Amino acid sequence: QVQLQESGPGLVKPSQTLSLTCTVSGGSITTEYHYWTWIRQPPGKGLEWIGYIAYSGGTYYSPSLESRTSIFRDTSENQFTLQLTSVTPEDTAVYYCARGDITTVESTSLSDFDYWGQGIQVTVSS
C-alpha cells in the first residue's frame, strides 16, 4: 500500500518561500510511469493543480505558477519537495501531494489520482 505524507511549516510570511515535502512509503518515486504531483485547495475554492516531478525526474508546472514553482526530489529518502517563492495570502491553501500518471496532468480532482496524502494547511500571513 502506497502512502504519502506532507510535511512543512503551517505558517509562512508574505514574500518568503513556501517549502513542503512529501514522503512516500510503499513504493519508489522512480518506478515507471508515475507522476508525483502537488495540488492545492484555497479556502472556499476548488482544487488547483500545481505541477509534478515524474519517475524520470522530469518536471512540468502549471503555467500560472511556473515562474514561482520548483519541484525536486531526493531519491535516497523517497521524497519530493515543492518550493513556491514570493508567496502572498493568495497562496493560503490546503496542499496535497499525490501519485498520478500521464492522464492526471492538470487534473483538479483528487479521485483521479491513485494515492494522495491527507493534506497540510499552509497559511500565508504576517
Output phi, psi for 111, to 5 deg: -70, -10
Q: Which pLDDT value is given to residue 112?
A: 95
Residue 50 confidence (pLDDT)? 98
Write out the three cell numbers for 81.
Answer: 519537495
C-alpha cell at 51: 505541477
Low-confidence ranges of the chain (pLDDT < 70): none
- In whole angstroms, give the CA distance from residue 99 to residue 104: 9
Residues 55-74: pLDDT tens digits? Answer: 999 999 999 999 999 999 99
